[in-house]
Chains A and B, each alone.
Chain A
Amino acid sequence: QKEVEQNSGPLSVPEGAIASLNCTYSDRGSQSFFWYRQYSGKSPELIMFIYSNGDKEDGRFTAQLNKASQYVSLLIRDSQPSDSATYLCAVNIPRNYGQNFVFGPGTRLSVLP
């Protein structure tokens, strides 16, 4: 089982709809969770982070964390064509060896005008 999993997509939604992106992780000790957006040909940029169970809202973005079910999601309300990008989920996994920050493979989102 991979440490961080995401559907590769593409996920297509019409303009103005809610886009829902999901991420699951395998290590129950994971403590912090991040969402990055990567436009084609560009580097990833951090858009949200969440540490506690529940929802965290920032503008049109809402991150949702459920540690019992080991998933984190990102909702994008009123989706715009400019939201079309690949969204990367990242998890900080506490461990005594190796690198703690693990990225998922990303989900490609396409918002259709």
Chain B
Amino acid sequence: SQTIHQWPATLVQPVGSPLSLECTVEGTSNPNLYWYRQAAGRGLQLLFYSVGIGQISSEVPQNLSASRPQDRQFILSSKKLLLSDSGFYLCAWSLGSQPQHFGDGTRLSIL
């Protein structure tokens, strides 16, 4: 069966520091991969999605970037974090038009 791993679970970072969040999927090949952010009490905001290695689509302009160095690995990065980057970051995977499945998320606090 397929599983998705996302880490770390929580992260506290100072303003201006770099960020790297990692997500890996096991048990499937060539999945679609997604990064979402969710502010407290709000809906899901799609940040990036990828349909294959090296193929990244950005949904919103911001100081975040994403990379997919391997088929089942998706990385969210920032060179300099802003206070507004705080939130709950979720990685998800899907196959074709099948539903998305989420990792456990990373709660990011910026000080």
List chain A positions with a Cβ less than 8 A from chain B: 31-32, 34, 41-46, 49, 88, 90, 92, 94, 98-101, 103-106
Contact = CB atoms under 8 A, between A and B. Distances in A.
Given A99-B49, A99-B57, A99-B59, A104 B99 contact: no
Interface residues of B, number: 20
B43 A46 contact: no
Nearest to A51: B97
B2 to A, nearest CB: 12
Interface in B36-74: 42-44, 46, 49, 57, 59
Given A43-B105, A101-B99, 17 more contacts: A31-B97, A32-B99, A34-B99, A41-B88, A42-B104, A43-B104, A44-B90, A45-B102, A46-B99, A49-B99, A92-B97, A94-B97, A99-B46, A101-B34, A101-B94, A103-B44, A105-B42
B96 to A, nearest CB: 9
19 contacts: A32-B99, A34-B99, A41-B88, A43-B102, A43-B104, A43-B105, A44-B90, A45-B102, A46-B99, A46-B100, A90-B100, A92-B97, A94-B97, A99-B34, A99-B57, A99-B59, A100-B97, A101-B34, A103-B44
